[in-house]
Amino acid sequence: MKKTHVFIIVILIIVIAMLCGCLNSEVPKRQAKQEIVVACGKDETRTIEGIMNDFTSQSSSTQVKLIELSNESRELYRAISSMLAGKEVQLDAMLIEDIWVNEFTKNGYLEPLDGMISFNGSEYHSCIADFARKDGKLYWYPMILDTGIMYYRDDMSDGSLDYRDLTEQNSISYAVQGTDGEEMLCCAMEFVNLTDSVEEGIKLYKKAIEGAAVSTNPVNGLLSGDAAYARAWARESSGITKGYAPASAKVSTRVLKKENNESYATARTYGFAANAASNKKDNIKELLNYLTDDSVQMRIIKDMGILPLRRADYENPLISYYSDYIEATYPLFETLKFRPNKANYTHLSRQAGTALSEYISGEGSLEDAAEAMTRLLDRQ
């Protein structure tokens, strides 16, 4: 090969290398995703984790780290409030109960969401819309609606009995939540709603606890056959329908309603909130808009076995296939009984829970329990 040819080849190699270098320098380097930390209770994790993973895989800028906390309401409250009160940012966003929004907002823990998402309160139950806003600003976006319902073994009963019926007979076994804490209060509130009297409701609740075959884990009592009926949360239906129940346990549901078709079920809502101390607002906004997409909302309803939040969703033909009680709840939607929206709810609920536990155990009086519950519920 002639020297001229060799020289030309060398020059071409150098030119090509220089061009490749220039092209590579013009290709922007992919930036690392910004991580945001989101906290929720154990019950939500089963569904939310998959949704968060799908979001992370689709997003070019945001990665979600999900923190699973306690499933018990008061323990979850203590964990999240401690994180929010800390000087260092331990979480960016969270799923929290409706009853905490007022207090957390008052303490300056929550970031307004108005610039991140639109919210039409008229699409929701008025109580849900009231929980979401404070002083005209949106601080919480509702995502999960749960209510108390009655499960029954249709191989052991016809499902025709309600709270009052169960406490007045001795032939059918039943389970009801009777342990201390917010779960107990929510159940006791239903007896108050049923009787339209704080004192009569508490008396009936105590009678129910004393006659119950199971009072610590109603669903387990139902599935084991120790109870023919069990009051539990709607979300627990997903555990039953996904094969956790033995084949012999044929479980059906009935909504908690009075003879006038008014609901006496306690309703509670979980929603998305952002930490005011977080500096990752754009990432939080991206996640919030993903979570509130209609397809994601339907996925949450289906996978968790919960109720739709918006009135219009009950008219979706797919909804009735998810569970029987969704269709049965729609006519009762406006009469669902939400817990009071108070900044001092946690304080008052602890007082009511203590007084109620003492009354049930025989260490306290009916009068003290009724007085504490009246302060909490603002009713007679």
pLDDT reading at 223 higher than 90: no
In the chain, the largest separation of any two C-alpha atoms, in whole Å, equals: 111
Given this model, what pLDDT does residue 62 score? 96
pLDDT reading at 146 higher than 70: yes
The percent of the chain in helix, strand and coil, each rounded to the nearest 5, is 50, 20, 30
Given this model, what pLDDT does residue 6 score? 53
pLDDT reading at 106 higher than 70: yes
Mean pLDDT, the chain, integer: 87
Given this model, what pLDDT does residue 12 score? 55
Please enumerate in sequence order all residues whose Cβ is within 8 A of that of 140, keeping only pairs 6 or more positions apart, or say none.
96, 98, 101, 110, 113, 131, 132, 271, 272, 273
* CATH number 3.30.420.40 given to 34-145+266-336: no
- Considering 31-35, 92-96, 175-179, 222-226, the range whose residues carry the highest mean pLDDT is 92-96
Closest CA to 337 of 77, 148, 133, 100: 148
Q: Are β-strands 141-153 and 251-254 bridged in parallel, bridged antiparallel, or unpaired?
A: antiparallel
DSSP per position, 320-380 = HHH-HHHHHHGGGGGG-EEPP--TTHHHHHHHHHHHHHHHHHTSS-HHHHHHHHHHHHT--
pLDDT in tens, 350-360: 999 999 999 99
Measured between alpha carbons, how far is 332 from 18 in angstroms, rounded to an integer?
73
Give the percent of the chain with pLDDT over 70: 87
Pick the range with the lowest mean pLDDT from 117-126, 249-258, 302-311, 320-329: 320-329
Given this model, what pLDDT does residue 187 score? 95
Residue 328 one-letter amino acid: A
Residue 200 tokens read as 């009569």
pTM confidence score: 0.87
Q: How confident is the model at residue 243 (pLDDT cuts 50, 70, 90)?
A: very low
Given this model, what pLDDT does residue 225 score? 87
Mean pLDDT of 151-164: 90
- Domain extent listing, the chain: 34-145+266-336, 147-265+338-377
Contact in structure between 228 and 212 (CB atoms under 8 Å): no
**Superfamily of structural domain 147-265+338-377:** Periplasmic binding protein-like II (3.40.190.10)
Given this model, what pLDDT does residue 335 score? 95
- Considering 44-48, 70-74, 92-96, the range whose residues carry the highest mean pLDDT is 92-96
pLDDT reading at 53 higher than 80: yes
Pick the range with the lowest mean pLDDT from 121-135, 166-180, 265-279: 166-180
- Is the CA virtual torsion 344, 345, 348, 354 positive or negative? negative
Q: How confident is the model at residue 309 (pLDDT cuts 50, 70, 90)?
A: very high
Given this model, what pLDDT does residue 87 score? 61
pLDDT reading at 25 higher than 50: no
Q: Report helix, strand or coil for 286.
A: helix
Contact in structure between 161 and 256 (CB atoms under 8 Å): no
Contact in structure between 213 and 233 (CB atoms under 8 Å): no
Q: How confident is the model at residue 128 (pLDDT cuts 50, 70, 90)?
A: very high
- Considering 44-48, 242-246, 374-378, the range whose residues carry the highest mean pLDDT is 374-378
Q: Do domains 34-145+266-336 and 147-265+338-377 have the same CATH topology?
A: yes
Contact in structure between 126 and 133 (CB atoms under 8 Å): no
pLDDT in tens, 63-76: 999 999 988 889 99
Given this model, what pLDDT does residue 2 score? 53
- Is the CA virtual torsion 356, 266, 132, 340 positive or negative? negative
Measured between alpha carbons, how far is 325 from 289 in angstroms, rounded to an integer?
29
pLDDT in tens, 210-220: 999 877 788 88
Mean pLDDT of 117-141: 96
Bridge partners of residue 133, in order along the sequence: 138
Q: How confident is the model at residue 77 (pLDDT cuts 50, 70, 90)?
A: very high
Q: 115: which DSSP letter?
A: T
